[in-house]
């Protein structure tokens, strides 16, 4: 711990003065022993938290930041944070409701309005663009303004519509930059840092050609570069230093077999092997498995590209089963910071927990929550490796999901379990059937008219099996709803994935100028907080 140990000392001092139970507000994790057990203890704990905040807020950090780290939990709405906090505590054998994830102990908090320029409920492209470029744009757009047409092929038009990102500004200043994701590194959220394109789906050149078809480009129009090519060709400053995530085939030619899955081929039709081009740069390394990743010396390696799966990396719950091995999001964060810290001018880093979103789309709360817990561990690592005096850390989400926490379960009831009614009884619906605490407004686990439902297959990562039932809802009495593959029910069955939700998400901030994160902010204000802290 570095300068943020001051906060812990302030909390300890305030509790000593008050003589009460410990407050959860700024401790790294609340413990079962600290849970109040009487009205007097609850009263003292609440007062202690307020007194601690009064002491901390007397010393606002008005310094300029040397470094900025932006953590994005893709789809990590408030209900996801709450449920993950409870699950984390329950898995560790402590009071889950009293528990706090690492970033919940940050000093400043606000709400983020996630509506895009053209949608009430947005996708990740415009929401991530808002955070890194300071504007609102349309769904599907990657760091271009809202006047562009989705599907604009011309590089010249795209160039005229592009908006400068925080990564580009940092590179122009001479800072080091990086992006880490558990999704494909060409996916929308990481891509907004280094790419400018009208369609988030154009991750490889073959994707553009597929959509372009027989269309003849007009005079003076050249085809826009795909997202993977824009990453490797990124040339602002001296180019980004670290890119870690998934998506190997988007970087490799269609004549090259995948090193981990030999029957899969690359997606590129332009003949470029972008992994080889990256590795040819001075003091650069390309890795695709954990052994190679672990062998990278951050003192000797100037640039690192790591692509650990053909598509997204494994869910945290399944990562240990990967044959070639994959680093965790905390591992990737640690390596990135070790490399970026070598620059005395500072660094900018985005870390995305991308698979939180994917598990929610499948209606699989278990994997959404365990990936949220994994992201919280990465935040903890980042804070331990940096100093509150010079590093601004922001943790937020691009949008929410339709998962809710409902019923009246007892404190300590398994968050993935069925809602209880006390005295070892299950709560029942109007049909006399038990139900789970977590559920989705819509999604693939809706109970359909033909009397069947879908389940999650962790191997194929598809929602597959059809299981018959009788009645309007299934009888969950003997169903293990805590099973990692269980899909929480949805009120509205969808033919495909569960959808995003449109309510505000939280912004947690700590470090220089973090006090600017307060109130209800439009999402694009996050960029302006980072830019202000860096003095851009």
Per-residue pLDDT tens digits for 175-186 = 999 999 999 999
| Residues designated catalytic | 124
Residue 392 near residue 513 (C-beta atoms within 8 A): yes
Reported confidence tier of residue 57, pLDDT bands at 50, 70, 90: low
| Cβ neighbourhood burial of 31 (10 Å; 0-12, 13-18, 19+) | middle
| Cβ neighbourhood burial of 421 (10 Å; 0-12, 13-18, 19+) | middle
Question: How far is C-alpha 285 from the geometric centre of its chain's CA atoms?
Answer: 25
pLDDT tens-place string over residues 203-241: 999 999 999 998 989 999 999 999 999 999 999 999 999
Percent of the chain predicted with pLDDT > 90: 81
391's tokens: 């590093």
pLDDT tens-place string over residues 311-361: 999 999 999 999 999 999 999 999 999 999 999 999 999 999 999 999 999
* pLDDT value of position 7: 37
Task: Choose the weakest-confidence range: 103-107, 139-143, 259-263, 421-425.
Answer: 421-425
Residue 153 near residue 208 (C-beta atoms within 8 A): yes
CA terminus-to-terminus distance, the chain: 28
Does the pLDDT at position 454 exceed 70?
Answer: no
* pLDDT value of position 1: 44
* pLDDT value of position 505: 98
Reported confidence tier of residue 153, pLDDT bands at 50, 70, 90: very high
- Answer with the residue of higher pLDDT: 474 or 345: 345
pLDDT tens-place string over residues 134-149: 999 999 999 999 999 9
Which sign does the torsion angle of CA 438, 442, 443, 445 carry?
Answer: positive
Instruction: Give me the mean pLDDT over the 519-523 stretch.
Output: 97
Reported confidence tier of residue 422, pLDDT bands at 50, 70, 90: confident
Buried/exposed code over 199-211 (b: 16+ C-beta within 10 A; e: otherwise): bbbbbbbbbbeee
Q: What residue spans of 329-430 are helical by DSSP H?
A: 329-340, 355-362, 365-385
- Answer with the residue of higher pLDDT: 485 or 202: 202
Does domain 67-213+227-402+499-534 sit in CATH 3.40.720.10? yes
Reported confidence tier of residue 495, pLDDT bands at 50, 70, 90: confident
Reported confidence tier of residue 51, pLDDT bands at 50, 70, 90: confident
pTM over 0.85: yes
pLDDT tens-place string over residues 9-30: 333 333 333 333 333 333 445 4
Residue range(s) in the chain whose domain bears CATH number 3.40.720.10? 67-213+227-402+499-534
Phi first, then psi: what are they for 414, rounded to 5°? Answer: -50, 125
Tokens 């079962």 belong to: 32
Tokens 């303004």 belong to: 145
Q: Determine how many CB atoms are found less than 10 A away from the CB of residue 399.
A: 29
Report the interhelical angle of 329-340 vs 365-385 (nearest 10°): 30
């Amino acid at each position: 711990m570095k300068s943020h140990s001051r906060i812990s000392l302030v909390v300890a001092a305030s509790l000593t003065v008050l003589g009460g139970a410990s407050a959860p507000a700024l401790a790294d994790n609340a413990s079962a022993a600290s849970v109040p057990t009487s009205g007097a203890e609850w009263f003292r704990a609440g007062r202690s938290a307020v007194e601690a905040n009064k002491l901390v807020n007397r010393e606002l950090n008005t310094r300029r930041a040397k470094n900025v780290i932006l953590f994005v939990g893709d789809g990590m709405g408030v209900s996801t944070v709450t449920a993950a906090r409870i699950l984390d505590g329950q898995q560790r054998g402590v009071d889950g409701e009293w528990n706090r994830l690492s970033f919940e102990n940050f000093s400043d908090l606000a709400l983020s309005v996630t509506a895009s320029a053209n949608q009430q409920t947005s996708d990740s492209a415009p929401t991530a663009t808002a955070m890194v470029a300071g504007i609102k744009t349309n769904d599907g757009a990657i760091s271009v303004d809202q006047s562009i047409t989705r599907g604009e092929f011309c590089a010249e038009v795209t160039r005229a519509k592009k908006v400068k990102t925080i990564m580009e500004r940092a590179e122009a200043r001479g800072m080091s930059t990086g992006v880490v994701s558990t999704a494909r590194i060409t996916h929308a959220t990481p891509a907004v840092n280094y790419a400018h394109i009208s369609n988030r789906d154009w991750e490889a050149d073959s994707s553009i050609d597929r959509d372009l078809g027989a269309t003849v480009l007009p005079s003076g129009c050249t085809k826009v570069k795909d997202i993977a090519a824009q990453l490797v060709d990124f040339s602002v400053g001296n180019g980004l230093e670290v890119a870690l995530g998934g998506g190997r085939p988007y970087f490799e030619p269609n004549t090259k077999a995948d090193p981990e899955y030999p029957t899969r081929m690359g997606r590129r039709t332009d003949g470029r092997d972008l992994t080889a081009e990256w590795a040819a740069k001075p003091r650069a390394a390309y890795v695709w498995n954990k052994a190679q990743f672990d062998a990278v010396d951050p003192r000797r390696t100037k640039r690192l590209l790591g692509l650990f799966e053909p598509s997204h990396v494994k869910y945290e719950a399944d990562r240990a089963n990967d044959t070639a091995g994959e680093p965790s999001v905390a591992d990737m964060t640690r390596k990135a910071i070790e490399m970026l810290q070598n620059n005395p001018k500072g660094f900018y880093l985005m870390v995305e927990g991308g698979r939180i979103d994917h598990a929610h789309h499948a209606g699989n709360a278990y994997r959404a929550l365990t990936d949220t817990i994994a992201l919280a561990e990465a935040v903890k690592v980042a804070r331990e490796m940096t100093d509150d005096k010079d590093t601004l850390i922001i943790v937020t989400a691009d949008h929410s999901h339709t998962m809710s926490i409902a019923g009246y379960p007892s404190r300590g009831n398994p968050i993935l379990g069925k809602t209880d009614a006390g005295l070892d009884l299950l709560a029942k619906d109007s049909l006399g059937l038990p139900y789970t605490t977590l559920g989705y407004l819509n999604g693939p686990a809706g109970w359909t008219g033909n009397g069947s439902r879908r389940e999650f297959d962790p191997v194929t990562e598809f929602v597959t099996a059809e299981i018959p039932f009788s009645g309007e809802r299934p009888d969950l009495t003997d169903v293990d709803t805590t099973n990692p593959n269980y899909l929480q029910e949805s009120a509205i069955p969808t033919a495909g994935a569960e959808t995003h939700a449109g309510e505000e998400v939280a912004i947690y901030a700590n470090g220089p100028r973090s006090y600017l994160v307060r109130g209800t902010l439009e999402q694009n204000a996050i960029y302006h907080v980072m830019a202000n802290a860096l003095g851009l």
